[in-house]
Structure 1
Amino acid sequence: MGLSWDKVVAHALTLPGSEMSTYYGGPAVKANGNAFLTPGREADSFHLMLDLDTVDMLMETDPDTFWQTPHYAGWPGLLVRYASADPARVLAMIERAHERALAKKPPKPRPKKTR
């Protein structure tokens, strides 16, 4: 099974409380108001938001699938290649990111700008 943006989004949207939304002006899947899946800055990957320990473990155990550019270094997120040799693991990590998003408090609404 090859992965694509449409397939990872479809999987994420099957998870309880997930919804299609936006994050910094781009598409995102959110749970409890928290983004956990967004397109990557690289065409062959998407961005997944996970805790730092999981990010480090994934990059160490499968660097061909899970990786970071300097933009993401030190942050709780990483890039995931669609061409993973283990798509089942990728889908499981989407589920873990979803659980993390559900457990977080919803973000506070931003004040509307007045002119």
Structure 2
Amino acid sequence: MIWDDVVAHALTLPGTELTAYYGGPAVKANGHPLVTPGREKGSFCLHIDQDTKAILMETSPETFWQTSHYDGWPSVLVRYDSADPERVLAMIERSHDWAMSRKRPRPRKR
């Protein structure tokens, strides 16, 4: 799996768009990011609720992990070379569901 595969899958989900997030590419739904490139080589960032993040890191630390940069934030790093790509894709879908269930963020004042 590579970034283009992650983006392609995320864009198949209803209401998603390829846009920018903190100056980099992102797929968002309902104004919330689903996936962004990771700051660490070989991984992307999955934006997901804290409870699911904790479960993923506990059950599959070889795939789902974090650095101190992501500690305390609703996002987890995901290794592209995961042995379970179906679970990775399912977690992108779960991120989408979470984004769609949340209130749309207000536009920032300029």
Normalising TM by the smaller chain, what interval?
Answer: over 0.9
Instruction: Give TM-score scaled by structure 1 length.
Output: 0.93
- Between the aligned partners of 2:29 and 2:105, the Cα distance in structure 1 is 11
Aligned to 1:9: 7
Aligned to 2:102: 104
Find the residue that maps to 1:7 and give its secondary structure. helix
2:84 to 76, 83, 86: 86
Runs of at least 4 residues off by over 3 Å: none
Q: When the two structures are aligned, how many residues end up with a matched partner?
A: 110
Instruction: Give TM-score scaled by structure 2 length.
Output: 0.98
Per the TM alignment, residue 76 of structure 1 is displaced from its structure 2 partner at its CA by 1.0
Q: Which protein is bigger by CA-based radius of gyration?
A: 1
Find the residue that maps to 1:71 and give its secondary structure. helix
Opposite residue 95 of structure 2, the aligned amino acid is: A
- Between the aligned partners of 1:42 and 1:22, the Cα distance in structure 2 is 18
Find the residue that maps to 2:70 and give its secondary structure. coil
For structure 1, which runs of at least 5 residues remain unmatched after alignment?
Answer: none
Find the residue that maps to 1:75 and give its secondary structure. coil
Per the TM alignment, residue 103 of structure 1 is displaced from its structure 2 partner at its CA by 1.0
For structure 2, which runs of at least 5 residues remain unmatched after alignment?
Answer: none
After superposition, the CA RMSD in angstroms is: 0.6
